[in-house]
Amino acid sequence: MTIEAAGLVEQFKRPDRVGHVSKVIKKKKLLRRKVRIQLKRPAINNVVSRTLQELFDSCKHVFKGPGNVPCASDVQKLCHILDGMNPEDVGLSKDLHFFKPKSEIEGTPRVTSATICKCDNFELCIFFLPANAVIPLHNHPQMTVFSKLLLGTMHIKAYDWIDSPKSDQLMSHSKLGLAKLKADTTFTAPCDTSVLYPTSGGNIHQFTAITPCAVLDVIGPPYSKDDGRDCSYYRETETPCDVLLDNEELTKVKGLGGCYRWLEEIEIPKESEMDGIEYMGPQIINSTS
């Protein structure tokens, strides 16, 4: 049974609903905006997804805490599980029209998120993006992140910082740093899982929904301001590389090949604020044995 609102979530009565609006994830005070998502009712109460359970159990083994990056074989193992996942594994139905557009919505649509589970070492969460919604350019400090596009078509732009004395000096004083473009690509589900690492793989990225999208993220370790893993946001500048680099550093950068941009850290953008819904899809059994 749906509720009418400006954004896009379909809610169902307990216990057979996948999500309902519970809070707004924000750092600035902003009025809550309801959303409507179409979700599939589990066939039975407390249904367990075998694939989701396998993902959870593997994450308990792979993520060993802050400062630990999964080895290549563990990355391959998680990618194999995620590549085989489909929307039904988290209670979504690809047969439904996921986000129904509303002509009265003005500006950039809001993103909604649901946390499947979270512990000290990792977090599993889903992001729901209506068409044209954006998760602005942001970083993942000290994290390894697996992203699996479950539904829709999405454009991803991603950067990595360039290790340069001049760039490091500018970043520390002016919040400006040189980054190399790692991805500027459109993906359509089903597609392979993307992986980013603490210093490579496109650690700074932006999601833009071409059509309504659902993305499953595996994040290890989770964001934690107290532990120095707070999220920072950036904007691309038009400053040419050769303006701020000396000849030696410019020669080094050109020798690496690829495309480069100066990124500037900015205040938390309005578009980064999300509506939070409680995850009520297939359950996970957290066995201590």
pLDDT along the chain (289 residues), means of 10: 34 37 38 44 60 97 94 98 95 62 63 95 96 95 97 97 66 78 96 96 97 96 94 91 70 72 92 89 81
Please report the pLDDT score of residue 37 as a whole number. Answer: 46
Please report the pLDDT score of residue 35 as a whole number. Answer: 44
Distance between CA atoms of residues 262 and 239, nearest Å = 6
Q: Which pTM value belongs to this model?
A: 0.79
Given a contact cutoff of 8 angstroms between Cβ atoms, the answer to whether 20 and 277 are in contact is yes
Long-range CB pairs of 236-242 (<8 Å, 24+ gap) are: 236/137, 236/261, 236/262, 236/263, 237/176, 237/261, 237/262, 237/263, 237/264, 239/176, 241/178
Name 37's Cβ contacts closer than 8 Å, sequence gap at least 6.
Answer: 8, 9, 10, 18, 19, 98, 99, 112, 128, 277
Which candidate, 48, 7, 36, 10, places its Cα nearest to that of 281?
A: 48
Give strand ranges (E) for 17-96: 19-25
Chain centre to alpha carbon of residue 222: 11
Given a contact cutoff of 8 angstroms between Cβ atoms, the answer to whether 280 and 18 are in contact is yes
Please report the pLDDT score of residue 179 as a whole number. Answer: 93
Measured CA distances, 288 to 78, 108, 283 (Å) = 20, 43, 16
Please report the pLDDT score of residue 55 as a whole number. Answer: 97
Please report the pLDDT score of residue 138 as a whole number. Answer: 97
Distance between CA atoms of residues 18 and 27, nearest Å = 26
C-alpha torsion 34→229→265→31, nearest 10: 20
Which candidate, 214, 264, 258, places its Cα nearest to that of 91?
A: 214
Please report the pLDDT score of residue 230 as a whole number. Answer: 94
Please report the pLDDT score of residue 280 as a whole number. Answer: 82
- Sheet with 194-196, side-by-side order of all strands: 19-25, 274-279, 111-118, 123-129, 213-220, 144-151, 194-196
Chain centre to alpha carbon of residue 124: 10
Measured CA distances, 156 to 122, 134, 141, 150, 272 (Å) = 23, 10, 18, 14, 16
Please report the pLDDT score of residue 33 as a whole number. Answer: 45
